[in-house]
Chain A
């Protein structure tokens, strides 16, 4: 699936709980090497081209930190 997708993760909002990483059916997201203010690893986009725009990450993110945009 190669839709023209842009995934934005707001680092000021992401608490690094890892829910989006696990719930993504296509493994688009992964932990970053950087730490946030809670000492957790941010979520990071690693395979944007795999995204099928199911918006599961948007639905489950407790902090409204992810936005999936179709271009």
Chain B
């Protein structure tokens, strides 16, 4: 069994955590580190790319791997460049829902369509938390936020379903309550040669919690009660949504370079 002490010494760069009490950001950092430890991947092979937002602080600077902290919404675009530059790297994108599905929505779609070999973790707390809790594309209908005090008039963007439709190789959804399952899914994502997308529903006790009068702990329990591993219920489905074998972009481009007589390295 993995010990927190060993994980902390090996994978966590700075203390104390920058996150609010009860935030799921640290739990995601913990699960990513444990999955990397279990998968026998070397830290030197990993490049973590993040955009802007609370979730972007999970890898940069707190995760002890090589990190690239990029502009708002462009993490997947930068990550594609990293992967095309060096095929041997394991590219991990950790991004919030506003960053990934909102501002970087188009990069997300085309990253999935191209099926670039990277692992994208979308930390979904349902709003723009860092800037004060404004409405995001992932905010549920009728939910109150800072900019929708009478409830969100729009419907939420089902990122995992959209990414699945866009053609990603591996799509899943879990919550921070499902730590063991999440770690296993991250391991699967690392093994997958293609675009892996894991939506992680994460509690935000500061922004969502204040509106709903819930603590981080109560939100974790809400996830337990309102999610199901059975797709036929009304509850939020958690589990693998799709796993398909598709041609991977980097391999295709490297093959074409070789066919044209060049050396991709």
Write the residues of chain A forming the contact surface with B, with a CB cutoff of 8 angstroms. 12-13, 15-19, 22, 38, 40, 55, 58-64, 66-69
Contact = CB atoms under 8 A, between A and B. Distances in A.
Given A17-B215, A18-B22, A62 B17 contact: yes
Contacts of A38: 20-21
Interface string B16-35: 11011111111100100000
Interface of B: 1-5, 7-8, 12, 15-17, 19-27, 30, 179-180, 205, 215-217, 220-221
A69 B1 CA distance: 12
A17 B16 contact: no
A55 B3 contact: yes
Which applies to chain A's interface (DSSP): helix, strand, loop or mixed? loop
Given A12-B15, A17-B215, A19-B220, A59 B5 contact: no
A69 B216 CA distance: 27
Nearest to A64: B8
B1 A55 contact: yes
Contact of B17 (A13, A16, A19, A67): A13
- Which of B25, B180, B215, B217 has the largest number of chain A CB atoms within 10 A? B217
Nearest to A63: B17
Given A17-B217, A18-B217, A64 B3 contact: no
A55 B34 CA distance: 13
By Cβ-Cβ distance, the 5 closest A-B pairs, closest first, are A62-B26, A17-B22, A15-B21, A58-B4, A17-B21
B4 A61 contact: yes
Given A55-B3, A63-B26, 15 more contacts: A13-B15, A18-B217, A19-B220, A58-B4, A59-B30, A59-B180, A61-B26, A61-B30, A62-B22, A63-B17, A64-B15, A66-B4, A67-B3, A67-B5, A69-B5
Contacts of A58: 3-4
B217 A22 contact: yes
B21 A40 contact: yes
